[in-house]
């Protein structure tokens, strides 16, 4: 039915302590493009979450005692297996999440790249020696894995968001329990199957799938044996998870919402800006935290940019992600479509104009046609909310100062983009925008070598890059005394 080369990659149970664990009841995983059920997965809950944490705790001693080289070899096996099974993993991802197959395979390769990256980076967990304040002492700093890591991951990147957390955790010597989104557990379970084939020992990587978000979330954030909690998702949910983590003073890292400005200055290469905005906005049907949320265009190039951009958006092909030639898939649910339509309608009532868009796609209730709104101002709902859908609001501005002020006028601070060919402006704007990641003449900024993360209410911590291990390590200072006797 699913046309997988290896049907064993489609799993229906949580993966705990190296075993597939069945529970009472199940969750239907539906294809957003067709509404049809792709698979049913056993519905785990609080008890299974506790079992997974126990397994991770028990596995920690042996895993953390392995050398970085030994862990790297197993992580590399996992990376190789992900790449060997790219077609199947991509297909599973499209079936449960909806993004076009080529984009789904791109996500699997992106996720695998974090495993490859951290397999290597784990070998470079350097300590330090520090000159002591007196001659009889020596100060040495070592870094050690923090312990059991718990994670909650979203449906928009069912593979890569797990890979980028788990790879850093495992490479550091930590063990890991993840609760993937209930809409998209199949990618997580396929990763578990490959982790097992790669030789990653039982208990080191655990996946618990269940629809009791509150109960399982409470265990993952409040359990005394969990040392660190990491989350990717909305700012609202992130805030309450952070407060739950306070009871045991857990280390937390949060990758939360965004409201990315995409600024096009008069001196920009307009064709390049159109191409950058298209990919930054409509990737994953607009459902990423770093998707362009507001397009800010300087008055002198507003007409040219808008005309070329609308033409480019018209060229996107909406449909079932498994169909040849489709470049933009459905949204995750009909509810998600309705939420975005409300933002569009409210902004049109407030004075925005519909330059492109059609509610009636005839494709199904989870589809929303790529939409462009002009005449938008920063106080409209489409601009001051995270859209998480395929809509581009275009806002005009007069000068650089105004562009920076509009860009920063949000509680979010994840990604920003701008296009300019003036080197002085490039530095002024790059330093002036309050965002953790800035794309300069570039619409796609995510990769394993770079630190992914936000400022303000977009979260804390960094994933990927040489900084990505820090969140999974404790710094321990050793003071050796009595050395002059
Ligand atoms: C996200 O939307 O949270 C992740 C996007 C990315 O990794 O590029």
C-alpha span between 434 and 429 (Å, rounded) = 10
- Fold of domain 260-447: Aldehyde Dehydrogenase; Chain A, domain 2 (3.40.309)
466: how many CB neighbours lie within 10 A of its CB? 12
Of 335, 333, 336, the C-alpha closest to 97 is 333
Ligand 1 pocket mutation pick from 111, 117, 153, 156 by most atoms within 8 angstroms of CB = 156
Q: Which atom of ligand 1 is nearest the CA belonging to 110?
A: 7
Rg (CA), the chain: 23
Cβ contacts of 206 within 8 Å, gap of 6 or more: 14, 15, 16, 17, 52, 55, 56, 175, 176, 177, 178, 192
Question: Best mutation site among 155, 157, 453 for ligand 1, i.e. most ligand atoms within 8 A of its Cβ?
Answer: 157
Give distance in angstroms: CA of 464 to centre of ligand 1.
Answer: 12
Nearest to 312 by CA among 372, 379, 352, 358: 372
Counting Cα atoms < 13 Å in the Cβ hemisphere of 343 gives: 26
| Cβ proximity of 390 and 411 under 8 Å | no
The low-confidence residues of the chain, meaning pLDDT below 50, are: none
Is the domain 7-256+458-477 a CATH 3.40.605.10 member? yes
CA distance 220 to 224: 9
- Helix (H), strand (E), coil (C) string for 411-425: CEECEEEEECCCHHH
Q: What is the number of residues in the chain?
A: 485
CA 94 to ligand 1 centroid distance, Å: 16
Index of the ligand 1 atom closest to the CA of residue 445: 8
Give the closest residue to 97 by CA, choosing from 161, 193, 14, 45: 161
d(CA 451, CA 65): 27
Asked if 235 and 259 count as a contact pair (C-beta separation under 8 A), the reply is no
Query: CA 171, CA 469: separation in Å to the nearest integer?
Result: 8
- Whose CA is closest to atom 8 on ligand 1? 446
Backbone angles phi, psi at 453, to 5 degrees: 165, 170
390: which 2 tokens? 């395929």
Give the pLDDT of residue 39.
97
143, 477 contact by CB (below 8 A): no
pLDDT at res. 485: 65
The distance from CA 359 to its chain's CA centroid, rounded to whole angstroms, is: 28
Q: Report how far ligand 1's centroid is from the alpha carbon of 290 (Å).
A: 6
Residues at CB less than 6 angstroms from ligand 1: 156-157, 160, 232, 255, 288-290, 446, 452
Q: Whose CA is nearest to atom 6 of ligand 1?
A: 446
The domains of the chain are located at: 7-256+458-477, 260-447
Q: Which of 103, 106, 113, 161 to mutate to test the pocket of ligand 1 (most atoms within 8 A of CB)?
A: 161
CA dihedral sign, ordered 340, 342, 346, 351: positive
Which single residue is written with the structure tokens 């002036």? 432
Q: Structure pTM?
A: 0.97
* Euclidean distance between CA atoms 365 and 27, whole angstroms: 21
Query: Per DSSP, what are the bridge partners of residue 14?
Result: 21
User: What pLDDT does 249 receive?
Assistant: 98
**Which positions are annotated as active-site residues?**
255, 289
Contacts of 409 (CB under 8 A, 6+ apart): 378
Instruction: Name the residue at shortest CA distance from atom 5 of ligand 1.
Output: 288
Residue nearest to atom 7 of ligand 1 (CA): 446
**Crossing angle, helix 101-121 and helix 160-172, to 10 degrees?**
10
CA-nearest residue for atom 3, ligand 1, is 289
Give ∠ CA 371-367-327 in degrees, rounded to 5: 70
Ligand 1 atom closest to the Cα of residue 287 is: 2
pLDDT of residue 399: 98
CA separation (Å) from 103 to 99, 267, 328, 442, 446? Answer: 6, 32, 9, 18, 14
**Spatial separation of the C-alpha atoms in residues 159 and 182, rounded to whole Å:** 13
């Amino acid at each position: 039915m699913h046309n997988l080369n290896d049907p064993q990659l489609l799993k229906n149970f949580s993966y705990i302590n190296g075993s597939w664990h069945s529970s009472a009841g199940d969750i239907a995983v539906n294809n957003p493009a067709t509404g049809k059920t792709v698979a049913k997965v056993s519905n785990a809950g609080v008890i299974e979450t506790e079992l997974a944490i126990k397994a991770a705790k028990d596995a920690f001693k042996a895993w953390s005692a392995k050398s970085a080289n030994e862990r790297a070899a197993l992580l590399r096996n996992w990376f190789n297996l992900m790449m060997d099974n790219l077609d199947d993993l991509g297909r599973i991802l499209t079936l449960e999440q909806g993004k076009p197959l080529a984009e789904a395979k791109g996500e699997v390769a992106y996720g695998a790249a974090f495993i490859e990256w951290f397999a290597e980076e784990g070998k470079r967990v350097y300590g330090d020696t520090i000159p002591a304040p007196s001659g009889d002492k020596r100060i040495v700093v070592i870094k050690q894995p923090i312990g059991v890591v718990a994670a909650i991951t979203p449906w928009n990147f069912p593979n890569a968001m797990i890979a980028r957390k788990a790879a850093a955790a495992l490479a550091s010597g930590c063990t890991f329990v993840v609760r993937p989104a209930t809409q998209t557990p199949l990618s997580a379970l396929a990763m578990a199957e490959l982790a097992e084939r790669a030789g990653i020992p039982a208990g080191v990587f655990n996946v618990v799938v269940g629809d009791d978000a509150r109960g399982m979330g409470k265990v993952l954030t409040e359990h005394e044996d969990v040392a660190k909690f990491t989350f990717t998702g909305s700012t609202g949910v992130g805030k309450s998870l952070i407060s739950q983590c306070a009871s045991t003073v857990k280390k937390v890292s949060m990758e939360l919402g965004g409201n990315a400005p995409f600024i096009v200055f008069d001196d920009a290469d307009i064709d390049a800006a159109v191409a950058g905005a298209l990919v930054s906005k409509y990737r994953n049907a607009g459902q990423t935290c770093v998707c362009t949320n507001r397009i800010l265009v300087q008055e002198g190039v507003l007409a040219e940019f808008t005309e070329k951009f609308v033409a480019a958006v018209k060229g996107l092909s909406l449909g079932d992600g498994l169909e040849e030639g489709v470049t933009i898939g459905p949204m995750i649910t009909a509810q998600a479509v309705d939420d975005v339509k409300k933002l569009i309608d409210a902004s049109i009532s407030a004075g925005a104009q519909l330059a492109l868009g059609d509610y009636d796609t005839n494709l199904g209730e989870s589809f929303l046609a790529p939409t462009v709104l002009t005449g938008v101002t920063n106080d409209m709902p489409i601009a001051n909310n995270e859209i998480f859908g395929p809509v581009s609001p275009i806002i005009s501005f007069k000068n650089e100062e105004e562009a920076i002020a509009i860009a920063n006028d949000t509680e979010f601070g994840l990604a920003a983009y701008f296009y300019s060919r003036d080197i002085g402006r490039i530095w002024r704007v790059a330093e002036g925008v309050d965002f953790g990641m800035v794309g300069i003449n570039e619409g796609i900024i995510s990769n394993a070598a770079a630190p992914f993360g936000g400022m303000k209410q977009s979260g804390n911590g960094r994933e990927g890059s040489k900084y990505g291990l820090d969140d999974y390590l404790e710094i321990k200072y050793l003071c050796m005394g009595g050395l002059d006797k």
